[in-house]
Structure 1
Amino acid sequence: MSELDLTFMEEEKPKKFQLKWFFPIFFKPGKSLKEISEKEYAVWIAPLCILMVSALILVLVSAPILGGVSQNVATPEGFEYYSPEQQNQFNQAVSMGASPVVTIVFPLLGKILGIWIGWFLLGSILHLSLTLNGSRSSNRSALNVVAWASMPFLIRDIVQIIAVLVTKQLITQPGLSGFMEAGTTGLPAYLTALLSFMDIYLIWQFILAGLGAMKISGLKSGKAWLATIIAFIIFLALKALPGLISAQLGTLSTGGMFF
């Protein structure tokens, strides 16, 4: 093989990290998703990395407030009668709540896991739903579409970052979960978790995913949208389960651990 052929093959090697659809996915979604659907290789790395960066920034701006909240713990009744050792243990436990591990590492880990697990789960369910409706598209194509369809969550992160910086308060009831009473268990806790995902950004993601599903599946629009609806219903039902478990255990937030 000549040197010219090797050079040509090197130039034709697909680039998996592509930012070319960063702005077009917002302003020309149809054209962008058509180009994404035509790729025979993975192009999902860039949007997931972007979402991880925005998640990192959100965690960093929220960390001081979270640490302050952790410090505002009322001393138990009769604290003055505790032994010096017991008082020291209590103070150490309170100070641990403001440590970087609690305010940065754990929240960031949860968000990163949520991004990757949520993307893979929704992409796989969408692929299965399209296949059952007669599509012969690949799982890779569905994962590509779902990754880029998740870009509206970047806008949500930016809005939340601005809100935290301006109000100096944490967002504790996202989506429509504010309509539910806090501290519920059982079915109400499950509904609270579901409602916490319901916002304009989820609708935006759904629309982009539906448009992408039509591009990759080759199905009629009705079947493609039906498959997308089914995929999102199953995905959200699974996504809310950690919120139910968290409420039952009373140790985790109703927003869910991983998603």
Structure 2
Amino acid sequence: MNQSILNTKSLKILVLSISLLTTLGIDFLVSNNIKKSFVFSPYVEAQTISKINEAKVFFDRASMKYGDKAIADYTEAIRLNPKYYEAFFRRGLSKSILGDSYGAISDYTEAIRINPKYGDAYFARGLSRSLKDNYGAIADYTEAIRFKPKHTVMESIYESRGNAKSRLGDYYGAIADWDETIRLNPKYSFMVYLNRGIAKAETKDTYGAIFDYTEAIRLYPQFADAYFYRGLAKFSLLDKRGAIND
């Protein structure tokens, strides 16, 4: 059984979480741009601060928009402040939503170049990479876990890394990540239990698979796929009556 498991909600969770937060102030921008070892002249310093403030205006305005209009404002914020890593990150999210995964990856990469400890950018880049590059996605999820993103729940990162490992056939690694997802939040998602059950079936842990399918059903009683897989697992144990009931 070659099961391709996609995590379709993680990006939506990330975007929603960020949209609910108050946008950042300019303190970190100032520290990234004018608190250097050399000394600005008063005129240059005033001009720099003015551009930072103007960039923040475009950033805030973009946060209230969607699609190309948001991208245009984030682009203007970046023009005014080329080290505005949060603007690169948000522009990447906007591109991801519009289906421009390559453009999104480029923006996430630039955000990480400016701020190498930016956990949220690693996670978002991993989601975009997972469409074609599971190894790259796993590397990014691992970095995201390392740097503990501010806007992302950790269980979502472990779930996503488990999904990528499963697509590569690393079922034991996937199970370990989904174990951590469930440990962090036992009610996080019925899909985690289904996916872990499928992976357990691949490793010949049929009883463990049945347990997970049952947990998925408990969380979502209308989950037809979980009944189907549980029926297959019971049939493999020659429990034909149980399989028929599912």
Superposition TM-score, scaled by structure 1 size? 0.31
Q: Whose RCO is larger (CA < 8 A, sep 6+)?
A: 1
Superposition TM-score, scaled by structure 2 size? 0.32
